[in-house]
């Protein structure tokens, strides 16, 4: 295990074997980092987080919650929630956790309703691939073996084994420097 330059560790952190933590990483307290993981390049791991085995967390990625084995979030993302095995988190993915009405998002799991401070989290199933710049609204669940198109706003749950594309309508008009009086 190697702790490199400019790493900030705030509180108790348990770090596994063969882990690289380098270049401006911030680790908040009460956190566990699994074996064979790297976290580098100004990434941030939030408090009370468990990072699973063989994770890759890189440039400005921010993770809080639980990641399972083989998760990759290597640049510009902010994820709060539970991330399944071998999930690929693309660049610029963001998790919203506050609803406009400041309420908690109820979750139905196996027929039972749950509500609490963490039910606004994101839940990503195993072997799911996010697209660049996905936005996840509070409390969304994405099933296992899913693929999400770039730019997708996920506002409701997505079942297992689904690929989701968005329809985009474009308007093209004339434009040029004369619009600015140049």
For residue 83, name the pLDDT band (cuts at 50, 70, 90): very high
Give the CATH number for residue 19.
2.160.10.10
Q: Using alpha carbons only, what angle is made at residue 126 by residues 121 and 131, rounded to the nearest 5 degrees?
A: 70
From CA 54, how far away is CA 7, in angstroms rounded? Answer: 20
pLDDT at 97: 83
pLDDT tens figures, 102-125: 778 888 888 988 888 788 899 999
**DSSP code for 158:** B
pLDDT at 110: 86
Total domain count, the chain: 1
Supply the range of the domain harboring residue 90.
Answer: 2-180
> How many other CB atoms are found less than 10 A from the CB of residue 101?
5
CB 63 within 8 A of CB 45: yes
With 0.95 as the threshold, say if the pTM is over it. no
How far lies 121's CA from each of 7, 10, 54, 80, 129, in Å? 27, 23, 23, 6, 18
């Amino acid at each position: 295990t190697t702790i490199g330059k400019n790493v900030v560790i705030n509180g108790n952190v348990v770090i596994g074997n063969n882990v690289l933590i380098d270049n401006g990483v911030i680790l908040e307290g009460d956190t566990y980092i699994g074996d064979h993981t790297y976290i580098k390049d100004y990434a941030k791991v939030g408090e009370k987080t468990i990072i699973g085995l063989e994770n890759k967390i890189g440039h400005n990625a921010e993770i809080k919650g639980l990641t399972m084995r083989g998760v990759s979030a290597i640049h510009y993302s902010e994820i709060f929630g539970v991330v399944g095995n071998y999930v690929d988190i693309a660049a610029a993915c963001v998790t919203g956790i506050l609803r406009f009405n400041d309420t908690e998002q109820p979750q139905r799991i196996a027929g039972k309703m749950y509500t609490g401070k963490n039910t606004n989290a994101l839940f990503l199933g195993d072997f799911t691939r996010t697209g660049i710049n996905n936005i996840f609204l509070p409390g969304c669940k994405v099933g296992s073996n899913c693929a999400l198109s770039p730019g997708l706003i996920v506002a409701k749950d997505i079942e297992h084994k689904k690929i989701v594309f968005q329809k985009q309508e474009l308007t093209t008009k004339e434009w040029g420097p004369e619009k600015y009086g140049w």
